[in-house]
Amino acid sequence: MNDRLSNMTYGGMAPGSALSQVERNKVLRNTYLLLAMTLLPTIAGAWIGVNTGIARLFVGGMGLLLFFGGAFGLMFAVQRTRNSGAGVALLMAFTFFMGLALSPLIAFTLGLRNGPQLIMTAMGGTAGVFFLMSVLSTVIKRDLSGMGKWLMVGALVVIVGAIINVFVGSTAGMMAISTLVVGVFSLFMLYDLKRIIDGGETNYIMATLALYLDLFNVFQGLLILLGMGSSD
């Protein structure tokens, strides 16, 4: 899991800003383009992690510390450089790191009888959620800024639960956490898309970071649920 504290704190204007519709569309267009680009380093990171054994570094308590240290550090760096080209480069580095962090789950899933199909199903499910939330973000006219506090509570519950479960090792707990992850970050996706459309987020690098985290967590949650449902 990863947190949303950086994105909730930095890089945007309040809903109802005076940003013109043309400027909002530009932010949304640049965000979608950069979001598509982030998939390449993520895939590269996951491939390297699976094929080199680096995936083992992200297993267990020490792996959790490595993940949070790397993720927090890179997100902070992206936030600090969000108004320059360095921000794009650091965002790519962050997504590569996230691919490495995802590699243990990918390796586990590939070890299952129908592993490749499960990965494709999780990808299709994530794309479906993104499409649905994209449509809803254009249809819903009311201000959704009030959702932010409740979603942050949900994200913190997920983080705490995931940390505890690393040491407890409960299968039921993992399934419950993964289900919560899919629900919380699907709603976060709607929230983040609506902020861009309403002019609440003016920086496309930070907007991309937010949506990337949403997609990453939904995909991860779905893949865990599918993998646990297909394994013994």
Instruction: List pLDDT tens digits, range 74-104.
Output: 999 999 999 998 999 999 999 999 999 999 9
- DSSP secondary structure of 8-24: HHSS---TT----HHHH
Q: For residue 46, give the nearest of 37, 58, 36 by alpha carbon.
A: 58
Quote the percentage of the chain above a pLDDT of 70: 91
The CA distance from 3 to 155, in Å, is 7
Residue 212's pLDDT is: 97
| Per-residue pLDDT reduced to its tens digit, 148-203 | 888 999 889 988 888 888 788 778 888 999 999 999 999 999 999 999 988 888 89
The CA distance from 212 to 31, in Å, is 10
Residue 11 pLDDT more than 60?
A: no
Token pair 């996230």: residue:
98
> Which stretch, 5-9, 32-36, 172-176, has highest mean pLDDT?
32-36
Q: Two tokens at 192?
A: 């983040």
The CA distance from 85 to 91, in Å, is 10
Residue 8 pLDDT more than 60?
A: no
Residue type, 111: G
Residue 128 pLDDT more than 80?
A: yes
The CA distance from 110 to 122, in Å, is 13
Domain boundaries, the chain: 17-230
The CA distance from 44 to 26, in Å, is 28
Residue 59's pLDDT is: 78
Is the pTM higher than 0.75? The answer reads yes
Q: Two tokens at 16?
A: 């109802």
Quote the percentage of the chain above a pLDDT of 90: 56
Residue 225 pLDDT more than 80?
A: yes
- What average pLDDT score do residues 68-78 get? 93
Half-sphere exposure at residue 19, Cβ-oriented, CA atoms within 13 angstroms = 22
Confidence band for 10, pLDDT divided at 50, 70 and 90: very low
Half-sphere exposure at residue 112, Cβ-oriented, CA atoms within 13 angstroms = 20
The CA distance from 56 to 105, in Å, is 10
DSSP label at residue 75 = H
